[in-house]
Structure 1
Amino acid sequence: METSDVIQLALIGISQGCGYALVAIGFVFIYRATEIINFAHGELMMLGAFMVLTFAQIWGLNFWLSACLGILSLGVFGYLLDAVVMRRIVGESQAIIFILTVAIALMLRSLAGIIWGWSPRSLDVPFMQDVQIGGIVLGMDRIAIILGTILLCALLYWFFSRTRTGLAIQASSQSQLAAYYSRIPVKRLISVVWAIAAMVAAVAGLMMAPVTQVDTGMSAFGIKAFAGAVVGGFGSIPGALLGCLLIGLAEPFLDFFFPAFKGVYAYIIMLVVLFIRPEGLIPQTFAKKV
């Protein structure tokens, strides 16, 4: 394998890992706030991509305006999903929550197929050009995914560490009862967490759309993101980022050298890590109090 091939595969892997990470962050946000694993999160990513596609290519709006409207619409959907549906099952068993989120995932996937069709659709974005440096072709769509992930992670870090709302969300995730006694609107903040997680998933769908195309199969992306979160240590945001980057970087090389198992290496890596280190690479560093 040539050096240029290694760099190309590494770029593909890092960009895929960043896409997984954006979805995994949403898994972790919701889990830390509510101890719910939202198995419909991949469908939120898919729905976000379809919403941007609708605004940009069906309504004919400017791409950046379409991106903002698509992301905001997913934020509203995520907020309402918690306020109208998930809030009603607080205190129920994990089995009921699992069944409900899987049912929501199936309904969203079917609804998307009915509205937009089952065939893959292309989303035209302003960062589709390729740049050639020596013998290496750098896809701007891949570079955009990496830079977008870095920028969004920095923005989320600032929000949760520097704003009153972000600090209140952190307090609620540590102890909902103490936050309630401190007059923090816990229920509303949990809905805000769902909204933020949905918007981040929509960004992931928007960024990955030029690479994967927009179709109902995008939702499977969420399963690999879940695997990355488990590898990193479910509940740990740094762990989710590390686990997703590890899987994303390993996949192209493993697919190249051992194509017989193409598409399943994320789950193989997850199983290996669970056998060796069940708590993940960077386990959650605090004990949640409820």
Structure 2
Amino acid sequence: MDTPQCLAATMNTGGAQAECALWHLEPAKPYRLSFENEADVVCLLLGAIEAKTGYDGRSPSAMRFDALTAAFHPAGGRVAVEASAVSAGFAAFRFAPELQHKLLGADYRLAPIPTSIDNIASPSIAGLVAYARTLFNASSQPDSIAVEAVSQLALVDVFRSLRAFASKTACGPLSDREYARLREHIDANIAERLSLVELSDLLDLPVITLRRRFQRKAGLPLHQFVLERRVQIAQHQLTATSAPLREIAASCGFASQQHMTSAFSRRLGLTPLAWRERART
């Protein structure tokens, strides 16, 4: 896996920043990326990617980036991605504010987007990504005019999709029934690697909608809730059984015993072993 790098620092230029987007191509191999956005970034997912992802300082969680989709990372946001399985990489485009204004004017003005949004899907985005695959998979350096055209279409299609999502994501919290169904599924599958895509499919909601509606219902992000449930279920097992720590970690969905220990220490101020000893005294 590559050493950590800053996406902005590796972006190529096809011209002056005010005239075209800076771009970066990540090939089909595991990678680590960590950067703070100086400007809006749009990524086209040329293939599926399995990764641990943390946005804006949040703890990394399992995430699947679907092929033929886009991702949007707003200016000022922080991104940390550790990708373990990469089928075809991605192409990223960074748009300075003056370039966005020159390209779109006020036609696609949106309310500030507070965090990154993944798996943005539409027929037009899928078609654009399919074309980008052929553009960036060529043996020679991609044509600069074609790259510029793809970057502009990517920005327009993503903004159109985000605007279409706005009415859906502005709705209220999950209903009691939706929330109970989600909790039941999480508890029943706590040993598995739960993903936002899987959980959103359960309720037939877009990922972005599930994130916002869940937080409005529960008062905390969904990925944090899942981790809290892992800790709570592990607490019960530590008290009620004599199972080894590594078995409890696996049965509660932690990546390792060390991962469980880290989660316990941050949330309870005790290691799992110390928790077990204290609970039994």
Task: Sort the TM-score into its range (normalised by shorter chain).
Answer: under 0.3
- Greater relative contact order (CA < 8 Å, ≥ 6 in sequence): 1
TM-score (norm 1): 0.26
Of the two, which has the highest radius of gyration?
2
Task: Choose between structure 1 and 2: higher helix proportion.
Answer: 1
TM-score (norm 2): 0.26
